[in-house]
Copies of this chain bind each other. A is one copy, B any other.
């Protein structure tokens, strides 16, 4: 039996998993992420944890195909990171260091891209080769897969779907410094922003409270038939549908997989997005499917394992 490791590095914990070659996860665990001293301990801690697990399970080095690692930052095709927001790393040759520390073959990818690979392998996009995954959380992340391979890009910054412009009249700034990015409307914070703007001008009765409204409140109210919440969902759907139509113009996916905290609203969310997508998409792209992400927090380790397997 051959094995591989999937590693998903986050700002507070690192998730790890051992997988059998055909994809079965046989063990998973977490270790803390220590970001002090420019995150110097992170990779050595991961390597030690992998070695300990190999010993515990009696896995020989020759039986390990490799280690896949997802990192919350752009990662070049060579496995190099040029800085991270949450790990303390500046320029770091992650692949090289990981291979030296473990003696195993390593492949490094951006965490959103790696999660997309996971969802295509075992989740919402199972069986597909051309997929766009959108993660609606605090921000909007995305991963593009064409013909089974991730779009990594020249600077490791391919698949930044949260930063396609969907409103050229926007006056507020996105976190990235531009104006009108999809992230300003389709993230959890974006939905709250849309709701607050709507609540400031509407006269209609609503359960939403402008002081405390959350993205979850909006979707709960949509499900309860709240008219104001439904107007916010329409706006959200228009923006996300337009953004996905743009992405399809480039990537022509078979399926969009939607994940992240906001996607817990479920099928109702898809209905607003799909309707608007089909109105705006180029004719050849109108029939793309839509699905919710299925792997939750495990998408990262599963995708990282796939990254290692694909690299054989």
Contacts and interface: CB of A to CB of B under 8 A. Distances in A.
Contacts of A153: 130, 146, 251-253
Interface in A248-283: 249-254, 280, 282-283
Contacts of A246: 164-165, 246
Interface in A145-184: 146-147, 149, 151-161, 163-169, 176-178
Q: Most B CB atoms within 10 A — which of A157, A159, A177, A250?
A: A250
Q: How many copies does the complex hold?
A: 2
Interface string A239-250: 000100111011
B74 A249 contact: no
Given A149-B147, A153-B146, A168-B242, A250 B178 contact: no
B160 A284 contact: yes
Nearest to A255: B154
Contacts of A156: 252
B146 A130 contact: no
B245 A165 contact: yes
A144 interface: yes
Main secondary structure of the interface of A (DSSP, over half): loop
Contact of A252 (B155, B164, B254): B155
Contacts of A288: 154
Nearest to A157: B284
Contacts of A247: 250
A179 to B, nearest CB: 9
**Chain A interface size range:** 35 or more
B165 A242 contact: yes
Nearest to A281: B178
Interface in A105-162: 129-130, 144, 146-147, 149, 151-161
A254 B146 contact: no
B251 A250 contact: yes
Contact of A163 (B163, B166, B178, B249): B249
A77 interface: yes
A198 interface: no
Contacts of A254: 154
A102 to B, nearest CB: 25
A285 interface: yes
